[in-house]
Structure 1
Amino acid sequence: MKTRNILLSGALCLLFCGPALIGLASWGGVALPSWLTAADAAYLSGGITEADPAAHFSVEGFASGEFQEAAEYAVGNCVPLKATALLANAAVQRSAIEASNVLFGWECYPTFYGSAIVEMPSEGRLLETAEKATDNVRDTISRVRDSLDAFGRRHPDQRIFVYLGPDSMNVEGSPTANLVSNALTYEGTENLFEEHDGAFEWIGGNVTFDEFTRGWNKVDHHWNILGAFQAYERMAVALGFGDDTLAPKDLVTYDDPPFRGTFARRGLETAYEDHVLDYEFADFPKFSVTIDGAEGSMDSLVHHKNYERGTWGPNAFTSRYAEYFHTDYGLITLVNEEADTDRNLLIVADSYSNCMERLLAAHYRTTYVLDPRHDRETLDEFLADHEGVSDIIFIMRSPNLLAQATEQALAPASAQG
C-alpha cells in the first residue's frame, strides 16, 4: 500500500510541478532533451505558441481573458513529455475505435476521435477524409474557374494550363468518400472547371486508387516521385514535348530516415511510415538557380547529398518531403544553360511542384516557380516585369488552387489594394 501511495504521490508531484521545473530550467539556460520538453510536441500540436503572461498582467488583461490565455499557453509549452502524452492519448482512443469497428467493418476509420485523418490498415497507409461538395465549395470552384478564364483572356499571347493534383480527399475510389455524404470527387471538380470553354487548357490528372497507392506517400499528402513523374508525362503531352520527355536511369530509395509525414503528425499515429524516393537521370541539364532573389543551386532544391551523408532532421515527424526536395519559396528561377529553345515557363504552384519543377525546367530556357502563398504580387504584375513567358501552368492540389491567395494572384492588377 505504501509503495502504491509513494508512486501515486510522485506522479501527482510530477504532474503539478513538472511545468514549473521545466520552465525554470529553460529560463536558467539548462539544456534539456527535446523529448522531455514541448519541442518534440511542436510538430504534433502545430508549433509552440509564444506566450508572455506578464505582458497581460493587468485588470484589463484579466477582464479580456488575455492573461488567462497567455498563462495557459505558457504552461502548455512546459508540460513534460507532451509529445508522449499526445500520442498515448490518441492511441487509447484509437484502440476504442478499432474495437467498435469490429461491428461495422469500415475499410478505414479515424486515428482518434474527431480526427480528419483516417488509417487504412489493409493498405498500411493514412488518408485525409474527403471534403463535402457543398454549395460554398462549388461556388468557389466556379469563381476560380472564371478568374482563370479572365486571366487567360487578358494574356492571349501566353498558353495557360491547369493541372489539379489528386489527393486522398478526392482520388477515384478513395474509401474516405464513404465516410461523408456528397463527397467532392476529382471528377466532380474537373467537370466544374470544364463546364464551359475557357481561355486555359485543363490537363486531366485523375488516377485510379491503385495508381494512387503507388504514386503517393503513405503518411503524407504529397505525391512521391512516381506520381510526380506520371503527372510530368501528362503535362509534357499537353505542353507539346511528349516525345522528348526525360528518361529516368534509376529509382533511388532512401531506407533512412523513416518518413512520417503530415498525416502521421496530424493523425498522431506512429504505426505507419514511408521512405523518400527519387529518380536519377543521365545527362540532366545544368541550371543556374535563384531563390527569392538570392543565388542558389540545384543542391538547394534537391538535397540528395545531405541524405547520402546521413544528414537529416532528428525529429521523427520532420517533413521529409520538404527536407529532401525543398521547402516552399515565393519565387524560384531556373535558367537552363543547355536549352535549345528560347521559350520560358511560369509554374504557379504549391508544394506539389517541389519535386518536379526541375523536370519541366529541362524543356525551357528559363523557368519561374511562383507560390502565391509566399509571393503577393499578382500574375499580371509578374508578367509585366518578366517578359518572354510563353507558357503558364498551374500545379496545385485543390485546397491551394481554391485558396484566397490564388484568387488574389489571378485578380487584375487594377483590382488590388
Structure 2
Amino acid sequence: SNISDKIILDHLFLQNLDDHLTNFYRTDHHWNIHGISKGYSKIYKMLSKNYPDIPEAFKPSALLTFPNIRFLGTLARRTLYPVEGDKFTGFEAIPPKCEISDQGVKGDYDYRDEYHDGLIPDDPYSRHYGQYFGSQSGLLEYNCETNTNRNILIIGNSYMRPLVPMIATHYEHTYFLDLRQDKTFTLSNFLVNHPVEDILIGGNAEVFFGDDNLWLIKP
C-alpha cells in the first residue's frame, strides 16, 4: 500500500437495527450520547497511535437525562408526524479551562450550562442537539490549559461537534471546521498560520461518500 502508516482509518460499524436504536435518536439523524461516547472512544484510540503520550481519556463524571425533554429532532420537524419524542441525555464533566472562539469572537457556543441550570427551551421542536452540544458559524477554536503543546485540526460536520470539547482536553489548541461554512478553505493556507501535529476528519457517510465536491479538502 502507498498509504502512510501515519494515516489511521477506522469507522463505527452498526451491527443491526437494535444497535442503531441504542446509539442514535429515532426522530433525528444524529447520534445520541451513547453513540457520541463510542465515537469518542474510537477516535481516542486512533489519535493515540501517533500521539503516545496523549493525556488520559476524557471521562464524564455523570450522564444526565433531562426528564422534561421529549426530543423531536430533524426527522420529526420535517414531517410533523405525531410521534413520541426521544429521551435527551447529556453529561457532566470538569474539563480543563479553555478559551473558546468562533471566527475570533470569544464565547461559549453551546448551552450546556444553561440546560444544567434548568433553562431549557419549551418549544416542542427545539433543536436540542445543536443547542446543547454546540454550533458555530465558522472556524471554532479551543485554546486550553493542558499539559501539552500539541495542536489538532478537526474537519467534519455536526456529528463531530459534540466531540470537539472532549478532544480539546488532549491539546493546547484545537481547531474545528465544517467545510460547508468556509468554501474558500485550503489546507496549505490554513497551516501557514495554524500549525498542527494532528488532522482528524470525521462525520457521517455524507462526509466521506457524498456525490458532490462539498467535502473535498483543497490542498
Query: Which TM-score band applies after superposition, normalised by the shorter structure?
Result: 0.7 to 0.9
The aligned residue for residue 76 of structure 1 is none
CA RMSD of aligned residues (A): 2.0
Q: Which residue identity does 1:307 align to in structure 2? A: Y
Residues in 1 aligned to 2:188 and 2:203: alpha-carbon distance in whole angstroms: 19
Q: TM-score, normalised by structure 1?
A: 0.47
Q: Counterparts in 2 of 1:99-248, with a 5 A limit? A: 197-199=2-4, 200-209=7-16, 210-240=18-48, 244-248=56-60
**1:328–1:354 CA contact under 8 A, matched in 2:** no
The aligned residue for residue 289 of structure 1 is 100
Q: Which residue identity does 1:372 align to in structure 2? A: L
Residues in 1 aligned to 2:34 and 2:13: alpha-carbon distance in whole angstroms: 15
Structure 1: state its 5+ residue gaps: 1-195, 413-417
Q: TM-score, normalised by structure 2?
A: 0.86
The aligned residue for residue 213 of structure 2 is 404
The aligned residue for residue 142 of structure 2 is 334
The aligned residue for residue 81 of structure 2 is 269
Residues 313 and 280 (structure 1), Cα distance of their counterparts in 2 relative to 1, 3 Å cut: closer
Residues in 1 aligned to 2:57 and 2:22: alpha-carbon distance in whole angstroms: 21
Q: Which residue identity does 2:13 align to in structure 1? A: N
Considering only CA atoms, is the larger Rg found in Structure 1 or Structure 2? 1
Residues in 1 aligned to 2:95 and 2:119: alpha-carbon distance in whole angstroms: 24
Residues in 1 aligned to 2:203 and 2:43: alpha-carbon distance in whole angstroms: 13
Residues 290 and 231 (structure 1), Cα distance of their counterparts in 2 relative to 1, 3 Å cut: same
The aligned residue for residue 154 of structure 1 is none
How far apart are residue 203 of structure 1 and its match? 1.6
Q: Which residue identity does 1:404 align to in structure 2? A: N
Residues in 1 aligned to 2:120 and 2:159: alpha-carbon distance in whole angstroms: 21
Residues 243 and 386 (structure 1), Cα distance of their counterparts in 2 relative to 1, 3 Å cut: closer
Identity %: 28
Give the SS at the match of 1:322: helix
Residues in 2 aligned to 1:215 and 1:373: alpha-carbon distance in whole angstroms: 25
Give the count of matched residue pairs. Answer: 209
Residues in 2 aligned to 1:217 and 1:345: alpha-carbon distance in whole angstroms: 29
Q: Which residue identity does 1:406 align to in structure 2? A: W
Residues in 2 aligned to 1:399 and 1:393: alpha-carbon distance in whole angstroms: 16
Residues 305 and 244 (structure 1), Cα distance of their counterparts in 2 relative to 1, 3 Å cut: closer
Residues in 1 aligned to 2:106 and 2:173: alpha-carbon distance in whole angstroms: 15
How far apart are residue 309 of structure 1 and its match? 4.1
Q: Which residue identity does 2:19 align to in structure 1? A: E
The aligned residue for residue 320 of structure 1 is 128
Residues 280 and 203 (structure 1), Cα distance of their counterparts in 2 relative to 1, 3 Å cut: same
Higher helix share: 1
